[in-house]
Amino acid sequence: MEGTHVFDRFIALVKFDQETIAIKKKIDALEKETGALKANLATLNENLDTARQLVQTAQKEVQLQELRMQELDSKEKEKRKQLETTSSPKEYTGIKKEVEHLQHAQHAYESELVDSWNKLENAKAAFALVATEIETGSAAIQTEIAHKETELSALRAEFRQQEQLRQEKLKDIPEEWLTKYDVMHLRVSNPVVPVYNNCCSACFEEIPQVDLTQLARRKMMQCKGCFRLLYLAQA
């Protein structure tokens, strides 16, 4: 029967679309997972940059402290030479006080310099630890990203093929059926459902006998409860 043939094509279209939707859901899930992995990779790189910046900051601090120590040392040597050459007791006393002040400043800066060296060593150790962890973690993440992108590429190609094949599936199906199907497709993920035990398998609304008779003849009916398109599974 021609009607039976058309109805069978319509049900085949519905099942085909469900397969396509399943592929699209896999693509969406993989894209989400890949995005999360790339975000994790970016976070790892940011952590490495942060650790590197801490090392650079500590190095600059050490360099500044060492430069300051060198300046104090040069000034002290210069003042000691002046002590050796001065003949004025008053000038000698003044220079000697300056030397003592410089020595006191050197002692204070020595403590700060040791702290700066310790900070630098700690920063280097932390950077080495982070770098090792990131090297291992990044390799694993990049491998997983590559695997998922390969899978994505295959799924996208399959999805494009499904879209092309769908045009053939639309042939001979009445426009009225397709219109109702498209409208319901925007509202629910399963716009066409089978009837089981004389009930809609989606909302369990009981189907009147007159409608069951029409469905047995492959007529297009809508559930009065959820408005999905119905068909008899046993047919």
* Percent of the chain clearing pLDDT 90 (strictly above): 45
How high is the pLDDT of residue 136?
87
Whether residue 3 is predicted with pLDDT greater than 60 in this model: the reply is no
Strands 229-232 and 199-200, by their bridges, are: unpaired
How high is the pLDDT of residue 100?
87
- Residue 137 or residue 157, greater confidence: 157
Whether residue 158 is predicted with pLDDT greater than 70 in this model: the reply is yes
Domains by residue range for the chain, with CATH: 2-170 (1.10.287.1490), 174-235 (no CATH)
| Confidence category of residue 80, pLDDT binned at 50, 70, 90 | confident
How high is the pLDDT of residue 4?
60
CA 224 from centroid of its chain's CA atoms:
44
How many CB atoms neighbour CB 208 within 10 A? 12
How high is the pLDDT of residue 6?
83
Compute the average pLDDT of residues 1-23: 81
How high is the pLDDT of residue 2?
47
Strands 221-222 and 229-232, by their bridges, are: antiparallel
- Residue 1 or residue 151, greater confidence: 151
How high is the pLDDT of residue 235?
52
Q: What is the pLDDT of residues 194-203, one digit of tens each?
A: 999 999 999 9
**Residue 108 token pair:** 């204070």
How many CB atoms neighbour CB 60 within 10 A? 12
How high is the pLDDT of residue 1?
40
Compute the average pLDDT of residues 29-47: 94
Whether residue 205 is predicted with pLDDT greater than 50 in this model: the reply is yes
Whether residue 43 is predicted with pLDDT greater than 70 in this model: the reply is yes
Among the listed ranges 1-10, 41-50, 168-177, which one has the minimum average pLDDT value? Answer: 1-10
**Residue 168 token pair:** 């053939």
- Residue 9 or residue 159, greater confidence: 159
Q: At what angle do helices 175-187 and 2-85 cross, to 10 degrees?
A: 30
> How far apart are the C-alpha atoms of 41 and 141, rounded to whole Å?
7
* Percent of the chain clearing pLDDT 70 (strictly above): 97
Mean per-residue pLDDT of the chain: 89
